[in-house]
Structure 1
Amino acid sequence: MHRPTRSPRAARQNTISTIPEELLERILALCIESPEQVSSPRVPGAVYRTAPLLVCRRFLRIATPLFYHTLALRSPRQAQRLYYTLASNPLLATFTRKLVIQSSDVHDVSEHIVRLCRDVEELDLLLVDGGAGDVSDGDAARVLRFSRALGTLGRIRSVTLRKPASTYLTHERTRLLLEGLADAVKDWRNLELLTFAFRLSSTPSTDLLIGALAKSPRLHTVRAVMPTVLNSCFVTLSTNPTLRNIELITDETPSGVIFGTGNGLFLKEARKHERLWACVRRGTYRLCARGRTRTPRPPPLGSRSSPRKAWARSRRRRAP
Structure 2
Amino acid sequence: MSLPDEIISEILSPALKVPEYMFSNLSSQSPFAKYTVSSSAALLVCKAWLRVATPLLYHVVIIRSKAQARALCDALRQNKVLGRFIKKLRMEGGYGGPVQDILRNAPNITDLFISLQIHSSDSTSGLAAGLPLINPTRVIIFDEDKNLLRNKAVLQVLDSLEGCVKKWTNVHTLLFPYHTKVSPRESFVVAMCACSNLKILSFPPPDPLIVPLLIKIAQYPGLEAIEIRPISKQKKRSLPLSTDPRLGSLLRWAKDTPIKAPVRKYILTACPPTDPSFQPLATTPEDTAERIWSRILFFAMLALEPRPKTALQKQQQRLANSKRARFLLVSKTFHRLGLPYLYRYLSLQSHTSLRRLVTSLDAVPSLGEYIHELDFRNIFKIYDDPENLESAFRCMPRLERLVVDSRLSLDWESFCALAETAGGTLTELTGFVVNQEDPSALHSPAVLEHFNVLRSLSLKSAKRFAPVFFDATAAIPTASFPALEFLSVSSREVLPLLTQMDLPSLHRVALYMNIASPGTPSDEARFLRQHRDKIWSLRVDTVMIGAESVLDLCPNISILFCRVAPQDDYNLGARTGFQHAFLRKLVVTKYSGRTKTDDVNEWGDFFAALDVSHLPALCELRVPACEWPTTEYGIVKSLWVKAAENLLVRGIKLTNKTGVEWHPRLRASTSRR
TM-score range for the pair, normalised by the shorter chain length = 0.5 to 0.7
Q: TM-score with structure 1 length normalisation?
A: 0.66
168-177 or 191-200, larger mean C-alpha shift: 168-177
Kept in 1: contact 2:148–2:184 (CA 8 A)? no
Matched, 1:30 2:14: yes
1:186 to 1:23, Cα distance in 2 relative to 1, 3 A: farther
User: Aligned with 2:164: secondary structure?
Assistant: helix
- 1:122 matches 2:111: yes
Residue of structure 2 in register with 1:238 after alignment = 218
Write the letter of the residue equivalent to 2:92: Q
Residues 12-31 of structure 1: CA distance to partner in whole angstroms, max 9, x if unpaired?
A: xxx443x4x44432332112
CA gap of 1:98–1:235, structure 2 versus 1, over 3 A, is same
- Alpha-carbon distance in 2 for matches of 1:74, 1:162: 14
Matched, 1:224 2:224: no
Aligned with 2:78 (options 79, 88, 101): 88
Separation in 1, partners of 2:187, 2:203: 15
SS in 1 for 2:73: helix
The verdict on how the C-alpha distance between 1:220 and 1:206 changes in structure 2, with shifts beyond 3 A counting, is same
Q: Which amino acid aligns with 1:55?
A: V
Give the AA of the match of 2:162.
Answer: A
CA 1:222/1:157 → structure 2, altered by over 3 Å: closer, same or farther?
Answer: same
1:41 corresponds to:
35
* Aligned residues of 2:118 and 2:149 also touching (Cα < 8 A): no
**1:98, distance to aligned residue in structure 2 (A):** 0.9
Offset of residue 110 of structure 1: 1.4
Alpha-carbon distance in structure 2 between the residues aligned to 1:107 and 1:277: 42
Taking the TM superposition and a 5 Å limit, the aligned residue runs for 1:291-306 are none
**Count of residue correspondences:** 245
Runs of 4+ in 1 over 6 A off after TM superposition: 255-258
Secondary structure of residue in 1 paired with 2:33 = coil
Percent identity of paired positions between Structure 1 and Structure 2: 22
| AA matched with 1:49 | S
Deviations 1:253-283 (A, max 9, x none): 7x7887436xx8xx23x2x1111111113x4
- Relative to structure 1, the CA distance from residue 22 to residue 221 in structure 2 (aligned partners, 3 Å threshold; closer, same or farther) is farther
Corresponding position of 2:54: 64
Separation (CA, whole Å) in 1 of partners of 2:228 and 2:104: 33
- Distance in 1 separating the partners of 2:237 and 2:141: 23
Report how far residue 81 of structure 1 moved: 1.8
Which structure is richer in relative contact order (CA contacts within 8 A, separation 6 or more)? 1
Q: How does 1:144-223 map to 2 (within 5 A)?
A: 146-154=127-135, 156-164=136-144, 167-168=147-148, 170-199=150-179, 201-203=181-183, 206-213=186-193, 215-223=194-202
Could you tell me how far apart the structure 2 residues matched to 1:162 and 1:70 are? 17
Of residues 109, 113, 116, the one that matches 2:98 is 109
Q: Residue 440 of structure 2 corresponds to which residue in structure 1?
A: none
Higher percent of residues as helix: 1
Q: CA contact under 8 A between 1:178 and 1:206: conserved in structure 2?
A: no
1:187 CA displacement: 1.0
Cα drift, residue 208 of structure 1: 4.3
CA distance in 1, matches of 2:126, 2:39: 32
Q: Are the aligned partners of 1:158 and 1:191 in contact in 2 as well (CA < 8 Å)?
A: yes
Change (3 A) 1:166 1:129: farther
Task: Map Cα deviations across residues 129-166 of structure 1 (whole Å, 9 max, x no partner).
Answer: 336xxx9xxx7xx6465223111112x01111112466
For the pair shown, which has the larger CA radius of gyration, 1 or 2? 2
User: 8 Å contact 1:129–1:167 — kept in the other structure?
Assistant: no
Cα distance in 1 between the residues matched to 2:235 and 2:130: 35
Q: Which runs of 5+ in 1 are unaligned?
A: 1-14, 287-320
How big is each residue's C-alpha offset from its partner over 1:18-69, in whole Å with a ceiling of 9 and x where there is no partner? x4x4443233211225396542223xxx5x4123323333322221111111
Give, in whole Å, the separation in 2 of the partners of 1:71 and 1:168: 26
Letter in 1 for 2:101: H
Say if 2:177 and 2:204, in contact at 8 Å, map to a contact too.
yes
Show the counterpart of 2:246. Answer: 275
Q: Distance in 2 between matches of 1:128 and 1:55?
A: 37
Contact 1:94 1:118 in 2 (8 A): yes
**Is the 2:17–2:56 contact (alpha carbons within 8 Å) kept by the matching residues of 1?**
no
